[in-house]
Chain A
Amino acid sequence: MRRLPVLAFICMAAMATAAQPVSDAGALLRHMLEAAPKLRYSGTRTVTLRAGIDRRVHTELIEKDGARTRVEFPKDSPYRGQVIVESEKERRHFFPEHNEIHVQPARRERAFQRLLRLANGKGAGRRIQVADGGVVAGLHTSVLTLVEPRGNAMQRMWIEPRSGMLVKRELYDRSGAVQGGFEFTQVNLSPRIDGRDFRLDVRGAKIVAPRDDLHEFTKRLNLPEVSLPPDAPFQLDGVRIQKMGGMEVLVQQYTNDDRDFTFFQLRGAIDQGKLRKQARSFQSVTWQKDGVSSVLVGDLAATMLEDLARQLGK
């Protein structure tokens, strides 16, 4: 009986220690990055993305088993019926309205690679701060804030310290407004997962690769069909037509695990000077041929972007 108060004290001390935020921000970030490819959970999250002055919010139902992820949408969602299944190698996105499965490169690693790059940029004046993040989706969290040299928060990550799960994330612009983010509202860290959930084969569905879209869209816009070869270091991630400044622009998005760049083609003149002025934090290359303007924009070295431009017909 005499030992009871001592045990109670030890328990209380242990609980207090567990509730303390991790003092080493770098260690917590490493823990999160290392845990991400191994985590198993199911949950519901709200995703906020900014498009111009609008913010789009949607809800996702996520099931994750290591590198494999399945995403569905609630019945009241505008995306209901769509299913996204991602493995280490590829991402398959089913669109029921079109009965198509779009096959693209996996995106999972990209976000973490970029994060790692940003975190490693501490030497350039960036720093990471850690604090108590409160409770998110019923889990106690620590919050990491990535701060740029002038002291503004670039992004915040709420991490459950034991599992290393990222339960909430916000990215900010220079004025501090949220550019995008997500927040889990419900998490189960011990889910019952069926391996078949990560297969996506719908009978009769058309398999569409980005190059199929490219072929269709270049034809529609009467533009030359130019792209990097499939064995290039950058993979074609998506192709779309976007209206910009009253013009229809063909957009090709390329990625490797670490970096992205966008290739635009349009009929009309592009002012390289104006473009450079706008793309202060990116590199850009422009060229014109037969009335078609081509533009590359990316967070890449200028020489690399020039090399890519040559491969794309500059």
Chain B
Amino acid sequence: MKRENNMSQQDPNLDAKLTTSAQRQVADTVRALPEETVSLAWRSALNERLAPIAAKKVRVRRVGWLWKPTAGLAMAGALAVAVMFRIAPSPTISSVSVSSGVEANLVAFHQQSEVAYDVAGPGLANPDAIEKTTGKNTEPNWTEDDLSSL
């Protein structure tokens, strides 16, 4: 309305121009055009073409009930796992040592040797005892305690 008012204000002769004979003639010609009705055959064809598309949409909507919550749950779960792993303390050393095999043993060996030398001083430290007195060279059974530092 505001726009119309503006236009009227811009061109005060607009109403007069619309009522000219030429304008009326064009309006009469348009009004005289025959009104075409859509044929039933065409409607039927259109319906046939639309039916599979509609069915597909319904199927997608129905499946959506299943996969949307599933995907949501999966994403929430993944987020929870990510948060848990970031917040939780580092895995216990015993579990790491089992999976890390020889690497954990190397570190534990160094650490236990340091403690043994510290404690024994000029006396007998562990390595000596194993190396020469018994000739044994047994597999060490390291635990998480072995890896914690002084």
Interface residues of chain A, those whose CB is within 8 Å of chain B, are 45, 47-54, 56, 58, 60, 62, 69, 71, 73, 78-79, 82, 84, 86, 91, 93, 95, 97-98, 100, 102, 106-108, 110-111, 114-115, 118, 154-155, 169, 171-175, 177, 179-182, 238, 240-247, 249, 251, 253, 255, 260-262, 264, 266, 268, 270-271, 274-275, 277-282, 284, 295, 297-299
Q: Are B102 and A249 in contact (CB under 8 A)?
A: yes
- Nearest 4 A-B pairs (CB), nearest first? A245-B102, A281-B149, A52-B141, A244-B105
User: Is there a chain A Cβ closer than 8 Å to B89's Cβ?
Assistant: no
For residue B97, give the distance in angstroms from its CB to the closest CB of chain A.
7
Q: How large is the interface on B (under 10, 10 to 19, 20 to 34, 35 or more residues)?
A: 35 or more
Known: A111-B118, A180-B119. A278 touches B102 (CB 8 A): no
A69 to B123, CA, bound (A): 9
CB contact list, B49-101 vs A, under 8 A: 93, 96-97, 100-101
Q: Are A53 and B143 in contact (CB under 8 A)?
A: yes
User: Is there a chain A Cβ closer than 8 Å to B126's Cβ?
Assistant: yes
- What 1/0 flags go to B118-150 for Cβ under 8 Å of A? 111111111111111110011111110111111
Q: Are A69 and B115 in contact (CB under 8 A)?
A: no
Point out the residue from B116, B117, B145 that lies within 8 Å of A173, measured CB to CB: B145
Q: Are A277 and B96 in contact (CB under 8 A)?
A: yes
Nearest A residue (CB) for B109: A242
Q: Are B124 and A79 in contact (CB under 8 A)?
A: yes
> 17 new A-B pairs (CB below 8 Å) besides A107-B121, A177-B145, A245-B105?
A45-B123, A53-B143, A79-B124, A79-B129, A95-B133, A107-B117, A110-B121, A111-B117, A180-B118, A242-B137, A244-B106, A245-B102, A246-B102, A262-B106, A277-B96, A278-B93, A281-B149
Point out the residue from B124, B142, B148 that lies within 8 Å of A52, measured CB to CB: B142
Q: Are B115 and A278 in contact (CB under 8 A)?
A: no
Q: Are B122 and A175 in contact (CB under 8 A)?
A: no
Q: Are B107 and A284 in contact (CB under 8 A)?
A: yes
Interface centre among B107, B116, B122 (most CB of A within 10 A): B122
For residue A163, give the distance in angstroms from its CB to the closest CB of chain B.
17
Q: Are A174 and B148 in contact (CB under 8 A)?
A: yes
Q: Are A171 and B106 in contact (CB under 8 A)?
A: no
Residues of A within 8 A of B103 (CB): 270-271, 274-275, 277-278
Point out the residue from A45, A48, A73, A100 that lies within 8 Å of B132, measured CB to CB: A100
Residues of B within 8 A of A262 (CB): 106, 109-110, 113
For residue B10, give the distance in angstroms from its CB to the closest CB of chain A.
78
Number of residue pairs A-B, CB distance < 8 angstroms? 197
A68 to B101, CA, bound (A): 41
Known: A51-B140, A238-B127, A275-B107. A182 touches B119 (CB 8 A): yes
Residues of B within 8 A of A181 (CB): 119
Residues of A within 8 A of B127 (CB): 238, 240, 253
Residues of A within 8 A of B124 (CB): 47, 58, 60, 71, 73, 79, 82, 84
Q: Are A50 and B145 in contact (CB under 8 A)?
A: yes
Q: Are A282 and B131 in contact (CB under 8 A)?
A: no
Residues of A within 8 A of B96 (CB): 277-278
Residues of B within 8 A of A108 (CB): 121-122
For residue A247, give the distance in angstroms from its CB to the closest CB of chain B.
6
